[in-house]
């Protein structure tokens, strides 16, 4: 015969496990609904991984993104944005903010800018999640979005 205390402990463990599972599911759904997180950038010309970018929500509700590290040939911690023409000129790429001002627009984010550190140019930017939030399609453009290029980034865990 099981004591009342044993039954209470088992029930308490079940409640804790259920709570942990629900919290995990909620976290996964929230992550899938927002680009906030870590992303591996993929070069649209070579198809090769290029860097890890962290996208975060700023205090004003907009999204920004900064380079955490390069990948492969781009993993040089002393690499600088020599082509930049603004305040980022000759600044280290590692830690550099390359996306800013992204605002939610339905299922997408728009209204911000993205810097291409290869050529130092700023582009208007729009992005949307794909494949259940595991891919992020990032489009940089001048003028209208038809005149631009897209990269598909892969979410990192």
CB 86 within 8 A of CB 119: no
Query: How far is Cα 16 from Cα 14, in angstroms, rounded to an integer?
Result: 5
- Could you report the per-residue pLDDT of 102-114, keeping only the tens digit for each? 999 999 999 999 9
> 155 vs 19, which has greater pLDDT?
155
Q: What residues does each domain of the chain span?
A: 1-32, 35-156
- 70 Cβ contact partners less than 8 Å away, ≥ 6 residues apart: 50, 51, 76, 79, 93, 94
Confidence (pLDDT) at 144: 84
The C-alpha angle with vertex 133 and arms to 65 and 138, in degrees rounded to 5, equals 45
The CATH class for the domain spanning 35-156 reads mainly beta
Would the pLDDT of 19 be above 50? no
């Amino acid at each position: 015969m099981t004591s009342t205390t044993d039954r209470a402990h088992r029930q308490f463990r079940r409640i804790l496990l259920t709570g942990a599972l629900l919290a995990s599911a909620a976290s996964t759904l929230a992550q899938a609904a927002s680009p906030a997180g870590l992303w591996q950038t993929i070069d649209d010309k070579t198809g090769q991984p290029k860097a890890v970018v962290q996208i975060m929500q700023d205090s004003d509700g907009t999204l920004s993104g900064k380079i955490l590290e390069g990948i492969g040939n781009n993993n040089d911690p002393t690499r600088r944005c020599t082509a930049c023409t603004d305040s980022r000129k000759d600044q280290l790429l590692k830690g550099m903010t390359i996306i800013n001002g992204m605002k939610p627009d339905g299922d997408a984010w728009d209204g911000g800018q993205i810097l291409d550190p290869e050529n130092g140019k700023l582009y208007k930017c729009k992005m949307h999640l794909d494949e259940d939030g595991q891919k992020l399609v990032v489009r940089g453009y001048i003028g209208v979005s038809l005149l631009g290029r897209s990269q598909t980034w892969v979410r990192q865990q």
